[in-house]
């Protein structure tokens, strides 16, 4: 069965304390892996797409990486405004739909 698992479920960091979020997947025929940020009461906002193992993408304090079995979202020197739920999703060949993980809720304390 195709599956996407995110860990940890929740993460509390002090401002400036770097860490990583994990998204592991067991799917056949990965076409792409997507990271989103979701603020409370709002829709997910697109961050990154990764298509092949070894690929990396960066945006401000965020860096996403991809291997054959998992993706990491590295957060360097986070600020309180980085507090949000981070979702990953995978897209599989022959389907037009995404499989979403349950998300990691990040809380960055000043």
Enumerate binding residues for other proteins (CB under 8 A).
Answer: 31-32, 34, 36, 41-46, 49, 51, 87, 89, 91, 96-98, 100-103
Q: How far is CA 20 from CA 3, 30, 35, 92, in A?
A: 20, 22, 13, 25
CB 10 within 8 A of CB 104: yes
Question: Closer CB to other proteins, residue 40 or residue 110?
Answer: 40
Q: How far is the CB of 64 from other proteins (least distance, A)?
A: 14
φ/ψ of 81, rounded to 5, equals -70, -5
Question: Closer CB to other proteins, residue 78 or residue 103?
Answer: 103
Question: Closer CB to other proteins, residue 11 or residue 98?
Answer: 98
């Amino acid at each position: 069965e195709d599956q996407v698992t995110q860990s940890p479920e929740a993460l509390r960091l002090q401002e400036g304390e770097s860490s990583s979020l994990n998204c592991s997947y067991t799917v056949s025929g990965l076409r792409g892996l997507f990271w989103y940020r979701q603020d409370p009461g709002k829709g997910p906002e697109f961050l990154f797409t990764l298509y092949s193992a070894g690929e990396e993408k960066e945006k401000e304090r965020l860096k996403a990486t991809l291997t054959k079995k998992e993706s990491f979202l590295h957060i360097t020197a986070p600020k309180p405004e980085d507090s949000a739920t981070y979702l990953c999703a995978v897209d599989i060949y022959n389907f037009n739909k995404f499989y979403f993980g349950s998300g990691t809720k990040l809380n960055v304390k000043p």
